[in-house]
Structure 1
């Protein structure tokens, strides 16, 4: 006998070749499955989304079936975290209904991209060194992303999405001490979509692109398609 649970996990993406299971390389899913098997859990993992190589998560959610002898979820969490490497931590485990699906039950996802005003070897694994100069312009640009758009020109090739249409509910820029934090909340995101959006925003800030260029790309024209590096990107929220 078994029952379904969800787990909220955090991980340092720089230690892995993405989330999805792959042969011959270390991924988040491979690492989790290995530890789960060591405590008698052999269920397939379903994740809220597949993060790419180098992308971090503070709130990834997975669902899976676990045996009834692990009914004490607090004890299970302690046992799993003791076995996991320091690059992954399980933050919460809770029971869910049989119809719960970590990916398809999601109502809203949130990503943030962190930029550091100061160049530091201690910040580099988790941020991109950059200091904004044209804040009003960037805030105007962010509002253009809000709403429902076909993001085909803000998508990296590959992936299994059937549609390129996504809705962004909110997009904002916040300042926190020595960092800028770009945050995006939406009903879903395409492969590398946030990194391509951030790359476009930085070119606007540098004066190389305009708001009109952004409007054109949102309509499908390809004006600039170079993503920023992955190390500043975090999957920061998943709501059900």
Structure 2
């Protein structure tokens, strides 16, 4: 049995997220599995590195699947990209050791979030950024980023319900770059809780616009209450850039 690793790029605008939902034809996983099943002649399921929400995009999602098909790697790549919708692209197909698992072997992830910070929205960037028109204090936001870097219990920055699993994560990088009216936020860490990046983003925006004090970050870590943190920003500004192994 062969173990095949896929590196996947997708525009999540039209989809209900990564994870297959019953018989729905509106998920990334479902679309890829349908084409793989056609290619191999047997029902094929893939394992993703993690879920992405409806509207979220990816430049480097990773998945793997097992198959006994003799199809060569170049043939797989050509077949998948020929029959998948144009907003889902397989960037790379690799044969990996049998024990490789896209989710369990991941050691970290890199995400980007984009803010269109201007008085009027952009017709072209509307599906790939969040329009936020308030004036922002970048010095204050950078100071807030520094508070979030490191190892913390991020449950207060998550939409997770009660869980027995650890909610401690490490953020290695949280930085801001301004490119004209576009703000590019980079998140690198060993893992992210459900909606954690989007809630941190909402918190940073509220601090930057003056509606939340920077000291609130310490209170969220201490109290571990979701309602203390900022809004959950929309999914269309979020990109999964890379998964580390």
TM bin, normalised by shorter chain, reads over 0.9
Match in the other structure for 1:235: 240
Q: Equivalents in 2 of 1:135, 1:56: separation in Å? A: 26
Aligned residue for 1:122? 124
Corresponding residue for residue 11 of structure 2: 12
Q: State TM-score, norm by structure 2.
A: 0.92
Tell me whether 1:179 sits opposite 2:178 in the alignment: no
Q: 1:217 deviation in Å? A: 0.8
Counterpart of 1:125 in 2: which secondary structure? coil
Contact 2:206-2:230 at 8 Å conserved across structures: no
From 153, 156, 159, the equivalent of 1:153 is 156
Provide the residue aligned with 2:173 in structure 1.
170
Q: Give the 3 Å change call, closer, same or farther, for CA 74–158 of structure 1 in structure 2.
A: farther
Q: Is the 8 A contact 1:159 1:191 kept in 2?
A: no
Per mean C-alpha deviation after superposition, the further-off stretch among 3-12 and 16-25 is: 16-25
- For residues 62-101 of structure 1, the aligned pairs below 5 Å read 62-70=63-71, 72-101=72-101
RMSD value over aligned CA atoms?
1.7
CA distance in 1, matches of 2:102, 2:113: 23
Q: Following TM superposition, by how much is the alpha carbon of 1:211 offset from its aligned partner in structure 2, in angstroms? A: 1.3
Provide TM-score, normalisation by structure 1: 0.93
Q: For 2:150 and 2:229, how far apart are their aligned partners in 1? A: 21
Q: Cα distance, 1:130 vs. partner?
A: 2.7
Q: Do the aligned partners of 1:157 and 1:191 also contact (CA within 8 Å) in 2?
A: yes
* Contact persistence 2:160–2:193 (CA under 8 A): no
Give the distance between the partners of 1:108 and 1:63, measured in 2 at CA: 17
Runs ≥4 in structure 1, deviation > 3 angstroms? 157-161
Q: Provide closer, same or farther for how the CA distance between residues 111 and 89 of structure 1 changes in structure 2, counting only shifts above 3 A.
A: same
Q: Is 1:215 paired with 2:214?
A: no
Pick aligned residue for 2:209 from 206, 211, 225? 206
Residues 189-237 of structure 1, C-alpha deviation per residue, up to 9 Å, x if partnerless? 0110000000000100110111111111122244234200110001111
Range moving further from structure 2, 142-151 or 222-231: 222-231
Structure 1: distance between partners of 2:164 and 2:50: 12
Are the aligned partners of 1:47 and 1:60 in contact in 2 as well (CA < 8 Å)?
yes
Correspondence for 1:224 among 229, 237, 242: 229
Q: State how far apart, in whole Å, the 1-side matches of 2:23 and 2:2 are.
A: 31
